[in-house]
Amino acid sequence: MLAPISWRVPPRHYGPWELVVSRLTEGLVARGVDVTLFATADSVTSARLEAVCPRPLAEDPTLDAKVWEGLHIGNAFERSRDADILHNHYDFLPLTYSGLVKTPIVMTIHGFSSTKILPVYERYAKRVRYVAISAADRAPRLPYAATIHHGIPFEEYPLGRGEGGYLLSFGRIHPDKGTAEAIDVARHAGLPLVIAGIVHDEAYFAREIAPHVDGERVRYVGSVDRTAGATLLGGAVALVHLVNFAEPFGLAMVEAMATGTPVIATPRGSVPEVVDDGVTGVIVRDPAEAATAVPRAAMLDRAAVRAQACVRFSRERMVDEYLDLYRKILAGEA
């Protein structure tokens, strides 16, 4: 399992790719699979940890990213001779090493940062089995072995009662994520808004978010760890998720649904695949419509929200699907 090294596995707070790697790895180990995890040296796992990079690149600016990503990827490929499958979660650079080993390679494509990186995926399309994390994120020109939605450990997300009485914006603070739109929705709905997440765009935060933060109608609680996040999610009336980009997979939506909190979202990126409209949330045409959807979302049965999410987005389902893919590859069927 080749993880990114921007953050620890699992991440201390932010780090969605590393979080998925952790959940898949722990799920596989729980099934008795022999897994070696290539990640930062401070990672925590029940798999065998192999590390060359001492600390997360995003937490230590003295580390030269190109140096450590090269060493990290090279090390994983050197050791891959002993593996049945090499599973890459580290963006596109490892593809360029893939022609040099015989080990079958699976790659979960966590997102395309730019269309400029497509030539690498095209070049190695016959060598590597690609997995999309949503139908929405499939690049039309690439062949995929499977689409596997992320799954989460539901035991870490207890059912909440929405007792906080607030709407929630949960995720990095960036125009893409629609944080400012969530502030509008809360104002129109007459409910307080809690914002949680790392500031990804400082200028946007200063201009569009900070002036509205008054500690009452709009509260900013920073980036929270997963335990605090689960509590925060469970206390919300609804998650307001008005992304302004084709998000590859909205993990925050699944986490909210796990705690019984319904999602209000526009049908962009993975939203139509993740939210069951009228069951686990309300899909609205545009942000202007979102405020009017709050009462409908609040009336959804929270236990039913969680139950449906559990059927579709449990870690066990994700692990099953990856195991199935691994078996097909080893049997020469994928």
Residues contributing to the site for a copy of itself (CB under 8 A): 52, 62-64, 66-67, 70-71, 73-74, 77-78, 92-93, 95-101, 114, 116-117, 119-120, 123
Q: Which two tokens stand for residue 19?
A: 């979080």
How far apart (Å, rounded) are the C-alpha atoms in residues 102 and 216? 58
Residue 301 sits at the vertex; the CA angle it makes with 297 and 304, to the nearest 5 degrees, is 120
- Please state, in angstroms and rounded to a whole number, the distance separating the CA atoms of residues 300 and 97: 49
- CB 65 to a copy of itself: min, Å: 10
Minimum CB distance to a copy of itself smaller for 32 or for 61: 61
To the nearest whole angstrom, how small is the minimum distance from the Cβ of residue 77 to a copy of itself? 6
Closer CB to a copy of itself, residue 77 or residue 170? 77
Q: Write down the least CB distance from residue 139 to a copy of itself, Å.
A: 14
Q: In angstroms, what is the minimal distance from the CB of 73 to a copy of itself?
A: 6
The CB-of-200 to a copy of itself minimum distance in angstroms stands at 21
Smaller CB separation from a copy of itself, 103 or 231: 103
Measured CA to CA, the distance from residue 68 to residue 105 in angstroms comes to: 21
DSSP 217-277: SEEE--S--HHHHHHHHHTEEEEEE--SS--S--HHHHHHHHTT--EEE-S-TTHHHH--B
CB of 6 vs a copy of itself, minimal distance in Å: 15
The CA distance from 38 to 25, in Å, is 11
User: Rounded to an integer, what is the distance from CA 156 to the centroid of its chain?
Assistant: 16
Do the Cβ atoms of 19 and 251 come closer than 8 Å? yes
121: its two tokens: 């995926």
Nearer to a copy of itself, 97 or 157 (CB): 97
Complex with a copy of itself: residue 102 or 190, whichever CB lies closer: 102
Total residues belonging to the chain: 334
Q: Which residue lies nearer to a copy of itself by CB, 41 or 117?
A: 117
Q: From CA 115, how far away is CA 138, in angstroms rounded? A: 12
Three state DSSP letters for 113-145: CCHHHHHHHHHCCCCEEEEECCHHHCCCCCCCC
Secondary structure letter of residue 208 according to DSSP? I
* Nearer of residues 85 and 232 to a copy of itself, judged by Cβ: 85
CB of 101 to a copy of itself, least distance (A): 6
Residue closer to a copy of itself (CB basis): 59 or 208: 59
Cα separations (Å) of 135 from 102, 129, 171? 29, 16, 22
Shortest separation between residue 7's beta carbon and a copy of itself, angstroms: 19
